Every structure is written in structure tokens, then in C-alpha cells.
Structure 1
């Protein structure tokens, strides 16, 4: 009788994470399309470089959570094969995180603050690093620790996506509200307060 794979105990977890990541990815597409339409109507124009630095990574993080969930739900013939595939996903994520940092530094549409660097640069590196390390080392040598590390990294990617999607939506909403408020005329702005 063969011993059950440690992956089978995680099926419900990855089903939940994968479903959430897929749904939120679709919602992010709708939000970006809506923002683009509104900005085109307002003649503001959505800067591609800013979208590449802040919008696209959010979809990639949701997609990575979905991919990891799918990989860890697959009927792998061995834990080593699953670990190698997850490690490659983590390494690809690290490479992408480096590209995002470069895009963020290059774009001129928005000046990132500390919170942006944490959520758009530091935390994604941590999440992808967790996947790479867990896939390479701990899944094979310490399956329980490896599975919890992968779960934490995957969940972190989901939370990064949620935070960044909300941050983008709220930033645009506040900005649109400010742009639509009537601006005082020069005579009104020079008038003394009553």
C-alpha cells in the first residue's frame, strides 16, 4: 500500500485559493477596462508605463496564485516533480518581480511611496522566494514545512493582489472625485474668507 501524497491534504485549500484568484483576476480586468474607458472619456489618458508597473503585476500575482493552486492540485506522480515545477514558478516570479521594480522606477505617472514599495516590490519577492525555496528544498526533505511555506507564499500572493487592486481602485476614485470638483475662479480664490 502506497503512502498518500502530502498534496492530497491541501486540495480544499488550493481549490479555495485558486477560485478566489481566478475570480479576482476577472474583476481586475473589469476595473482596468472601466478606468481606461472613464479616463479616455475625460481625455486624461491611461499611461501604459504606469499600468505596466502597478496594474499588470496585480494580475500576474493573481495568476501566479491560480497557477500554484493548479499545480498543487494536479495528480503528480512524485512530490519531487511537483516541487521542481513549483520552484520554477517561484524563480520565474522572482525574475518578474525584478522587471516590476525596474518598470516602477522608470515610470513617471505616479511617485511611489514606502507602502507601494512594500506591496509592489518587497512582498512579491518574499512570496516568490518562499515558493522557489519550498519547491527546491523543503518539499523533498521536509514535506510538512514545505507545504506550509508554499501555502503561505500562495496566500501572500493573493493578499498582495487584493491590496494592490484596492489601492489602485481607491486611488483612481479619489483622483476622479478631485478632478470633477469645481475649481474656484481666480476672483473666488483671491476673495478673503468670510
Structure 2
């Protein structure tokens, strides 16, 4: 009787359950936070929201999609690679949209750190995903580490950018009033 060869994805199941769950929870949390902040903030353009808040949800959803894709019981890895490659291509295209929205909005002047975390790091992560998708069938073990790193990087980018945006709103938009001495 011939024994079935175990998929290299089996060892990654817990990893993708953890980061997929985190991404889903953080996506939901973003909806709650944006809803709460919407009533407190000054009127801002949709370009500002599209440049600095929406990408976080997209990155979290990408991590969720990667997790779901690599948790599926694939018989051959090229199927998963196809989905991951399309996901990476979509991510690179979305980074171009982020650049356009960031340049068009006029509510905030981005600094180098903003360009790094909103454009450069996500673009590297999505490009890594494209290359990994192409190589998944032929070099599964090392490529799965690259895909995992890409997913974690997108998760951290979303967390960093969400925190950065919320602290900016809390500190710059609503400064603490100084009380005079009596």
C-alpha cells in the first residue's frame, strides 16, 4: 500500500490560524475605531481616510486571505500559488492607489516614516508574495517561510499604521487644554 505524501502546509496550520484570527479581529476593531472617531474628528476628506485608514483594513484582509488560502487542503501547491500571486499583484496595484491618495489628500503632510510604513514596506511584502507564489511548487519549504514573513509584515504594518493614525488624532487633533494656576 502506497503511503500519501504529507503536504508541507500541514506544519503551518497553527501559524495561519493564529495570524488569520488576529487579522480578522483587527479588521473588526478598525471598523469600531473608525466609527467612534468619526463622531469626534474634524471634517476630513475621503482621500485622507483612503490614504491612511483603509489600507490597514486591506492589509489585514490580505493576511486573512493568505491564511485561508494556505489552510485549504490543496492537492497541488500551484493552485495556492496562483491565488497568492494574484493577491500579491493586487497588493502592489493597491500600493499605487495608496500613493495617489496620499499625494491628493491635503489634511496631513506625510513624513519619511509615513512613506516607509504606508508604501515601501507593504510594497516589499506584496512583491515577496508574488515571487513566493511563483516558487511555491518547486521550493515549498523555504518559500513558506517567506510567505509567513510577508503575512506577519503586513499584520505589523497594519497595527503600526492604525496606532500611528490614532495617536495622531488623539494628540494633534485634540490637545489637552492647559489649566491656568489659581
Tell me which interval the TM-score lies in, with the shorter structure as reference length: over 0.9
Q: For 1:6, which of 5, 8, 29 is the aligned residue?
A: 8
> Within 2, Cα distance between the matches of 1:94 and 1:176?
31
Question: Is 1:153–2:150 an aligned residue pair?
Answer: yes
5+ unaligned residues in a row in structure 2: which ranges?
none
The answer for the alignment partner of 1:120 in structure 2 is: 118
Unaligned runs of 5+ in 1: 185-194
Q: SS at 1:162's partner residue?
A: helix
Aligned to 2:26: 24
1:36/1:46 contact within 8 Å kept: no
Matches within 5 A, 1:39-54: 39=41, 44-54=42-52
Using the TM superposition, give the Cα deviation of residue 121 of structure 1 relative to its aligned residue in structure 2, in angstroms.
0.2
* Alignment match, 1:187: none
Partners of 2:147 and 2:154 lie apart in 1 by 11
The 2-side partners of 1:5 and 1:131 are apart by: 20
Deviations 1:63-120 (A, max 9, x none): 1011110111011121111111111111111111111111111111110000000000
Q: 1:177-188 to 2 correspondence within 5 Å?
A: 177-178=174-175, 181=177
Greater C-alpha Rg: 1
Question: CA RMSD of the aligned region, Å?
Answer: 1.5
Counterpart secondary structure, 1:6 = coil
Number of aligned positions between the proteins:
178
- Aligned pair 1:59/2:76, yes or no? no
Query: Could you say which residue in structure 2 is the equivalent of 1:15?
Result: 17
Distance across 1 between alignment mates of 2:66 and 2:102: 25
Equivalent in the alignment of 1:143: 140
In structure 2, which of residues 94, 97, 103 is the aligned counterpart of residue 96 of structure 1?
Answer: 94
Following TM superposition, where does structure 1 have runs of at least 4 consecutive aligned residues deviating by more than 3 angstroms?
Answer: none
In structure 2, how many angstroms separate the alpha carbons of the residues matched to 1:104 and 1:50? 7
